[in-house]
Amino acid sequence: MNDTGRPALEASRLSKTYGRNEALRDVDLRIDRGTTTALVGPNGAGKSTIIKTWVGFEWPTAGRVAVLGFDPRRDRARALNHIGYVPQATALYRELTVEDHLRLAVTLRPGFDRSHAADQLRRLEIPLGAQTSGLSVGQQLQVVLALALGTRAEILLLDEPLASLDPLARREFLAVVGDVVRARGATVLLSSHVITDIQQACQRLIVLGHGRVLLHAGIGEAIRQHWLAEADVPLDGHESMRPIGDFPGPTNETFRLWRREDGAPAVPDDRRLRPATLEELVMGYLASGRALTH
Amino acid sequence: MPTTAILTFRNHRFAVVAVGVGCLLLALAAVGVALWLGSFNVPQECLDNPEIRGTLPCLGTDDALAINEEWAGKVMAAMAVLPFVSGLLLGVPLVGTEIETGTATIAWSLSSSRRRWLLARVGVLGVTLAVLLAVPAIAANALEAERLPRFDLATAVILDFGLRGPLVVARGLAMFSISLLIGLAMGRVLPGLIVAGVAGLVLYYIVSLAQGVGWPAPEPFDARPGAYFMEYPHEWVDHEGTAFSFQELVARAPAPLGDPAFDTWLADNYREVAVGIAGERLAIVEQRELGGLAVLTLALVGTSAWLIERRRPY
């Protein structure tokens, strides 16, 4: 199959329910090849669910997903061959060494690049002979990342890998991911709660809230389009600005996120507005998602 | 394949070592008790005639019978439990642990075929289990040959069926496949062990019922007379070959039970026979049960291979 024109990851009218809980509702997404995308949202937003659907661990209740055009449910082998996956819970085999994990990966994935994964771990000074039970959380995560990188897959799906890491380990992790993107032009989807780190690591942003896509845009473009003001300040004369959501500030005040519509001046002539940070932008959209639900 | 085998052993080393030690100890116990019984070298006439057991050649008879009863009986009872526990210990954690600890998430994301991943591990542990169980199964056959009173195993009613020989291995593998499926379905080791244990008991009951259907019908046959008639079904046949129970003979007898005329009448007209399946037909009976267990084992492994493609790894 010629898949050069296909997006790396695709979801069309994707819904997923667990009993009465709706994890994803009519999600349409298209993630282009060679992009690094952050997937952010609160707990229960559906971030892990959508990633697991691409890996083939979850099956859609409705709609469809595709990995380079392959349906992970019907054509799991071909879809998985394009994916390197770092799961949320980085459980390694406690009885095995790091080296054993690499050998295991060689038996499981044809073409697994053991030397590449080993080099990666040596660079981080993680001993290959160490029992994984003796490694720190950050080192265990690096082992899982090395396994994903050793697959030489075009697409890396990283499901909240940063949450349990200290700031230095987060930087190291993101540096490795960045190297892969630069060297291979890989497509990376990184789900995370940690907003501060993703701005430098990712080009695009998806905000997922309550099972829906609230925003999908380039990070730079999104920051240029969003502005912030105190919520109780009326913004008369700004018809080209659309309110997104209100959220509490650090000192008890409430802020409102505004989105500049197409055609509006790049910088509004209003001192009550200031550019939103990425974190404020995400907070505003998450607040809007909550409002939509309620 | 060697890498897969080594890593599978390392992953399940506790269960493999536990089963290995259990099999080895039981095999040693069976051989030890067999040698112990053999060392008494009890003459057959001492077994046939309790009244001479106080005489010189029969002095060890009572001790030998006590060892036979206590130790050989315990070893054979353990042989009933060994395949059950071994299959349980190796089967439930094979996938259950991976799902419970989260390692299945990594393994299944790396493997393009979960089915191949499963079958490789089932092959490694299944062959290991078969080899380990074969050791006590062979040793139990040796013990059976030394048990008292000495039966000619080829002609006596089948003794300790399923507690020795290839059925021990087949029952262990059937238990392994049930445990595998339950461990995979539940994704939890401790509840899996409990549920698989109950399922194993149900299977044992079903196999017992199926034996009545699948086995050849019991029939009277001449066997060496001896003490085993006290323990195993027996009848009397007349000169035309018609079989009667002892109660029927008492009703037909011209003299009451206890009268010497009764004994004379019985000896003149009837011959005592064993009722059951002769040991010489053991191979036929074993083959039928082996076939049934093989089909069951393959069906359960096949169901696991089907289920693993549909199950979440967590």
A44 to chain B, closest Cα gap in Å? 17
Last residue of a domain, one of A176, A209, A242: A209
Tell me, yes or no, whether A107 and A196 share the same domain. yes
Read off the pLDDT of residues A32-90 as tens digits, 9 standing for 90 and up. Answer: 999 999 999 888 889 999 999 999 999 999 999 999 999 999 999 999 999 999 998 88
Tell me, yes or no, whether A186 and A60 share the same domain. yes
Tell me, yes or no, whether A199 and A238 share the same domain. no
> Can you tell me the distance from the alpha carbon of B129 to that of B84, in angstroms, rounded to the nearest whole number?
11
> Can you tell me the distance from the alpha carbon of A197 to that of A176, in angstroms, rounded to the nearest whole number?
13
Give me chain A's average pLDDT, please. 88
CB contact under 8 A, B111 and A144: no
CB contact under 8 A, B112 and A109: yes
CB contact under 8 A, A91 and B110: no
| Cβ-Cβ contacts under 8 Å, B309 against chain A | 76
CATH number at residue A203: 3.40.50.300
pTM of this prediction? 0.85
Read off the pLDDT of residues B162-171 as tens digits, 9 standing for 90 and up. Answer: 888 999 999 9
Q: How many CB atoms lie within 10 A of CB B155?
A: 14
Q: Nearest residue of A to residue B98 by CA position? A: A93
What is the rounded (10 degree) CA torsion for B276, B281, B282, B287?
A: -120
**Of the candidates B265, B103, B253, B81, which has an alpha carbon nearest to the alpha carbon of residue B187?**
B103
Give the one of B4, B10, B109 whose C-beta lies nearest to A96's C-beta. Answer: B10
CB contact under 8 A, B105 and A103: no
Is the CB of A92 inside 8 Å of chain B's CB atoms?
Answer: yes
Read off the pLDDT of residues B44-92 as tens digits, 9 standing for 90 and up. Answer: 778 777 777 777 778 888 888 888 888 999 999 999 999 999 999 999 9
B126 to chain A, closest Cα gap in Å? 19
A204 to chain B, closest Cα gap in Å? 25
> Can you tell me the distance from the alpha carbon of B305 to that of B110, in angstroms, rounded to the nearest whole number?
17
Tokens at B303, concatenated: 């169901």
Is the CB of A109 inside 8 Å of chain B's CB atoms?
Answer: yes
Specify the pLDDT at position B228: 46
Best of B9, B110, B116 to disrupt the A interface (most A CBs within 10 Å) is: B110
Q: Nearest residue of A to residue B97 by CA position? A: A93
Tell me, yes or no, whether A29 and A144 share the same domain. yes
Tell me, yes or no, whether A122 and A44 share the same domain. yes
Tell me, yes or no, whether A66 and A89 share the same domain. yes
Last residue of a domain, one of A209, A243, A259: A209
More confident residue, B37 or B96: B96
Note whether residue A107 is domain-resident.
yes
Residue spans of beta strands (DSSP E) within A97-239: 155-159, 187-192, 204-209, 212-218, 226-230
A108 to chain B, closest Cα gap in Å? 5
Note whether residue A4 is domain-resident.
no
CB contact under 8 A, B106 and A106: no
Domain containing A236: what range? Answer: 219-293
What domain count does chain A have? 2
Last residue of a domain, one of A153, A185, A209: A209
Looking at the DSSP bridge assignments, the partners of residue A242 are A259
Note whether residue A278 is domain-resident.
yes
Read off the pLDDT of residues B21-37 as tens digits, 9 standing for 90 and up. Answer: 999 999 999 999 999 98
B99 to chain A, closest Cα gap in Å? 10
Is the CB of A267 inside 8 Å of chain B's CB atoms?
Answer: no
